[in-house]
């Protein structure tokens, strides 16, 4: 059976934006209870208690007993609004539930025994398609988590929802196919292109050409000037000494 958390609440006699602002100034969060073929009821919930409950996680998949004037009403949150600046709760919608109800919730997926997967050992990567599985279930039988076993999974193989045994009364909202939850994909390896045997490395030919041009010609003689180049003018002879 799912854990049920009690929260104290008080009736909100007036509705509207004015009453909601008044409640927030008093450290309360306005909320509404609806469903089960009953008229909606406005209530106020303690701000600090509600904030702590939301911050614990899985708020929308938790069953609550709202205690109003000593009377308990079993509900599940369907939506909550946060202040866009302060990021604190400003309103909550609760849905009444009964033992005959079937509610829609998201259950987290967990993957175990990665070390027992041959594909993971060979460098494969677990590609998670669905981190949560949406299901219909009774309000008193909400699963905590769905565990998927990776034992024996090779690269290229997938895990489907049929890989696990769902609890009684629990069924996926996607009922027309055996959908994929995760796959083991091969790791991407970028290989450098190897040079062709016997071919010079890039830039080697250019470097060799530059070295030959800079080296003197064989026999120690300087390289001949390029065709069309003008020779340097000869030095003038010094005048003869007068007798």
- CATH code of the domain containing 39: 2.40.240.10
CATH number for 138:
2.170.120.20
Out of 96, 120, 141, a domain closes at: 96
Do 13 and 20 touch, CB atoms closer than 8 A?
no
Q: Are residues 11 and 62 in the same domain?
A: yes
Q: Are residues 85 and 116 in the same domain?
A: no
- Strand ranges for the chain from DSSP E: 4-11, 28-35, 38-46, 63-68, 71-82, 89-96, 103-112, 125-128, 132-137, 146-149, 158-160, 171-172, 180-185
Do 27 and 54 touch, CB atoms closer than 8 A?
no
Q: Are residues 67 and 131 in the same domain?
A: no
Out of 185, 203, 223, a domain closes at: 185
Report how far residue 138's alpha carbon sits from residue 2's, in angstroms, rounded to the nearest whole number.
10
Domain-located, residue 136? yes
Do 47 and 89 touch, CB atoms closer than 8 A?
yes
Residue 69 is predicted with a pLDDT of 85
Q: How many domains does the chain have?
A: 2
Report the Cα 241 to chain-centroid distance in Å.
Answer: 99
Report how far residue 240's alpha carbon sits from residue 191's, in angstroms, rounded to the nearest whole number.
79
Binned average pLDDT, 10 residues per bin, the chain of 243 residues: 84 84 92 91 94 92 92 94 94 93 94 95 95 94 95 95 94 95 80 50 47 45 46 46 42
Q: Are residues 41 and 88 in the same domain?
A: yes
Q: Are residues 81 and 116 in the same domain?
A: no
Out of 185, 217, 234, a domain closes at: 185
Domain-located, residue 195? no
Residue 218 is predicted with a pLDDT of 42
Phi, psi of 242 (to 5 degrees): -75, 140
Residue 240 is predicted with a pLDDT of 47
Domain-located, residue 110? yes
Domain of residue 157: give its range: 103-185
Q: Are residues 110 and 159 in the same domain?
A: yes
Domain-located, residue 31? yes
């Amino acid at each position: 059976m799912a854990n049920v958390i009690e929260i104290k609440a008080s009736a909100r006699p007036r509705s509207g934006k004015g009453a909601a602002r008044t409640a927030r100034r008093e450290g309360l969060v306005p909320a509404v209870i609806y469903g089960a073929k009953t008229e909606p009821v406005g209530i106020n919930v303690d701000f600090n208690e509600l904030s702590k409950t939301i911050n614990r996680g899985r708020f929308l998949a938790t069953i609550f007993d709202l205690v109003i004037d000593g009377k308990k009403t079993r509900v599940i949150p369907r939506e909550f609004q946060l202040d866009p600046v302060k990021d604190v709760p400003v309103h909550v919608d609760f849905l009444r539930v009964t033992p005959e109800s079937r509610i829609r919730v998201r259950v987290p997926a967990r993957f175990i025994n990665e070390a027992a997967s041959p594909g993971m050992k060979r460098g494969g990567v677990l590609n998670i398609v669905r981190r949560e599985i949406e299901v219909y279930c009774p309000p008193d039988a909400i699963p905590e988590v769905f565990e998927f076993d990776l034992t024996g999974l090779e690269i290229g193989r997938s895990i489907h929802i049929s890989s696990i045994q769902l609890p009684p009364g629990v069924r996926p909202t996607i009922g027309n196919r055996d959908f994929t939850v995760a796959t083991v994909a091969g790791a991407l390896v970028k290989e450098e292109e190897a040079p062709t045997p016997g071919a010079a490395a890039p830039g080697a030919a250019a470097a060799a050409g530059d070295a030959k041009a800079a080296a003197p010609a064989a026999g120690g003689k300087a390289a001949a000037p390029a065709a069309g180049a003008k020779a340097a003018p000869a030095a003038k002879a010094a005048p003869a000494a007068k007798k």
